[in-house]
Amino acid sequence: MKDSSTLTHFLKICEEEIDENAAVVQKIELPNINNSNVNVFLKREDLIHATISGNKWRKLKYNLIEALINRKSTLLTFGGAYSNHIHATASAGKIFGFKTIGIIRGEEHLPLNPTLKFAAECGMQIFYVDRTTYRNKNKESFITELHNRFGDFYLIPEGGTNNLAVKGCTEIINNINIKYDYILSACGTGGTISGLIAGLNGDKNIIGVPVLKGADFLNNDIDNLVKQYSCETF
């Protein structure tokens, strides 16, 4: 890591580039909603940053800090060819001075789609693995192979989901200055909704909407993430 990429420098860039206060709450005005005596609001996490927006920033925030603390200059992560996480990680690497490596599920297709084109333009090294190999992404033996190939790196899981991501996502509930009964959130890898559950600590009802078919596994994954986060001391 360059000398300038210290934690102090990171925080300075955050002040200049990232605006968590921009994630305002807006009321959705639609006739079929207004006539049903239900109020629906949207928290505009997408306004935090143009290319590291929404839950992606929340998930990456403390992982980037952890990488800096451990003097890691390279981030390695996983995703599909249209992964928003790959897009955000590449952008974060460019902005905060990390090298980035993306392990992409599936075969290479040229020209690159907009997601991977953007990632490459941000400096991300892109490597493709077949779907069978990709399933090993959480196995220690496969991670060792990646270290043998790419050297030292800070590993960020697929979708950015780990305990530090859950910590970041607990902050999504900050600055919600309205009374509400339910929070609805999309579920991909379960990190965001785990953060919401941990942050609210049973105070509100939370509904998760899976974005994948056959996502029953998320119930156990989310339960484990919340339990692991609760056992951590940050």
**DSSP state letters, 37-57:** T---EEE-GGGS-SSS-THHH
Answer with the one of 121, 140, 160 that is the final residue of a domain: 160
- What is the pLDDT at residue 194? 96
Read off the pLDDT of each residue in 135-160 and give the average, rounded to a whole number: 97
CA 42 → CA 13, 31, 173, 180, distances in Å?
27, 16, 12, 11
Residue 22: inside a domain: no
Q: Are 123 and 183 members of one domain?
A: no
Q: Read off the pLDDT of residues 40-80 as tens digits, 9 standing for 90 and up.
A: 999 999 999 999 988 999 999 999 999 999 999 999 999 99
Q: Are 71 and 117 members of one domain?
A: yes
Q: Are 179 and 142 members of one domain?
A: no
Residue 87: inside a domain: yes
Q: Are 146 and 81 members of one domain?
A: yes
Q: Are 63 and 149 members of one domain?
A: yes
Type of residue numbered 13: I
Residue % of the chain over a pLDDT of 70: 97
Q: Are 144 and 198 members of one domain?
A: no
Q: Are 188 and 209 members of one domain?
A: yes
Q: Are 95 and 155 members of one domain?
A: yes
Residue 214: inside a domain: yes
What global pTM score does this model have?
0.91
- What is the pLDDT at residue 5? 53
Residue 38: inside a domain: no
Residue 20: inside a domain: no
**What φ, ψ does residue 3 adopt, rounded to 5°?**
-55, -35
Answer with the one of 145, 160, 175 that is the final residue of a domain: 160
Residue 190: inside a domain: yes
pLDDT at 3 over 50: no
Read off the pLDDT of each residue in 173-192 and give the average, rounded to a whole number: 93
Average pLDDT of the chain, as a whole number: 93
Rounded distance between C-alpha atoms, residue 168 and residue 174, angstroms:
11
**160: region left, alpha or beta (phi > 0 left; psi from -120 to 50 alpha):** left
Q: Are 139 and 171 members of one domain?
A: no
Residue 170: inside a domain: yes
Beta 41-43 vs 25-27: how paired, if at all?
A: antiparallel
Residue 78: inside a domain: yes
Q: How many structural domains are present in the chain?
A: 2
Answer with the one of 140, 160, 180 that is the final residue of a domain: 160
Instruction: For residue 151, give its domain range.
Output: 56-160
Q: Are 87 and 172 members of one domain?
A: no
Rounded distance between C-alpha atoms, residue 188 and residue 225, angstroms:
13
Q: Is the dihedral of CA 3, 86, 53, 203 positive or negative?
A: negative
Q: Are 7 and 15 in contact, with CB atoms under 8 Å apart?
A: no
